[in-house]
Amino acid sequence: MSTTNLRRRLHHGDVDGRKNEHVDISSADSLNEPLLGKSNDDNFGSEVYDPRKQDLWDDDMKKEQLHWSFLFSNLITQWAQWLASIIVSSGSIFGRLSPFSSENQINPVYLSPLQEQRLDTLRHRLQISFDGSRIEHQDALRQLWRLAYPAREIPPLKSELWKEMGWQGNDPSTDFRGGGLISLENLIFFARNYPNSFQMLLNKVQGQRSDWEYPFAVAGINVSFMLVQMLDLKSSVPSSKYGIRFLELLGRDENAFDHLYCVAFRLLDAQWLVKRASYMEFNEVLKSTRTQLERELVLDDVLEVKDLPSYTMLDE
């Protein structure tokens, strides 16, 4: 950096009989002046920069930083040791609190050959849609009528009489929709294996009934559909805890799904009476039925459908 020095030179001459003063300005580099120095005439009065003082200041700052770094390092070490001792003594707190802990993870499902065979059979049943043009499906409807009303003549497949069973129209085939043929098979199984409970629900003979009751047959289709969802049967292998528990039941009884259907339908009617429900509340009752079944399925002492607490309501 260069500074400008003003050097005043006086030249005397007779110009008009007067003495003239000339100011001569020249530039020179001054390496002896401090870089940040101020003159004595400067109003700020700053001190002249001294490198030795700056070095002493830097040394003091470094010592203080090292001191605090040492204290902070010791604090971190002690905290880590304390945390490690807690984890070891408590069986890993983080493992318990983490939503991804092993307790919440579902282990891979390994099926026995028997379970795999029965699951394939059940899945095949689920894939069959009801087809009113097929003779075997028509015969299944007639069989259901015969079981429901053994003393009555079987009506045509399109008749107002089907409404008495709880179909919405005079053609039952229009009510199956997503229920499929298995929902009709479930109703037939219910009528064959638990005829007393079947007749009780069909004719609404128990409890104080609503003026606007749920339609029996259509309700049965909804129960089948609810169970398929609850047990995760549409997936390649059920992965929910309820689906996995059902696979255990299926391994002990090839008709586990049909028996569970009967329990669910009977439980739905019991929930209906307790809630004093009416037609518009059917979905709410169906939901509470599912919740109760889920609670019972995961009980430790349930090894087959007959171990479910709600099974005791069924009357053969």
What residue has token string 């260069």?
2
pLDDT band at 272 (very low <50, low <70, confident <90, very high): very high
CA atoms within 13 A on the CB side of 116: 5
Q: Which of 249 and 212 is assigned the larger pLDDT?
A: 249
Task: Decide: 198 and 204 in contact? Cβ < 8 Å.
Answer: no
Q: How confident is the model over 118-147, as pLDDT tens digits?
A: 999 999 999 999 999 999 999 999 999 999
CA 293/CA 268 separation, integer angstroms: 10
**Residue 237 confidence (pLDDT) above 90:** no
DSSP string, 216-268: HHHHHHHHHHHHHHHTTTTSSS--SHHHHHHHHHHHH-TTHHHHHHHHHHHHH
Q: Which helix (H) or strand (E) holds 243?
A: helix 241-252
Task: Decide: 251 and 118 in contact? Cβ < 8 Å.
Answer: yes
Percent of the chain whose pLDDT exceeds 90: 58
Extents of the domains making up the chain: 51-97, 113-313
Q: How confident is the model over 146-176, as pLDDT tens digits?
A: 999 999 999 999 999 999 999 999 999 999 9
pTM above 0.75, yes or no: no
**Residue 242 confidence (pLDDT) above 50:** yes
CA 121/CA 75 separation, integer angstroms: 65
Instruction: Give the bridge partners for 252, in sequence order.
Output: none
Mean pLDDT of the chain: 78
List Cα–Cα distances, 105 to 39, 99, 101, in angstroms. Answer: 78, 9, 7
Q: How confident is the model over 60-78, as pLDDT tens digits?
A: 555 556 555 555 555 555 6
Rounded (10°) angle between helices 180-193 and 113-126: 110
**What was the pLDDT predicted at 42?**
42
CA 182/CA 191 separation, integer angstroms: 14
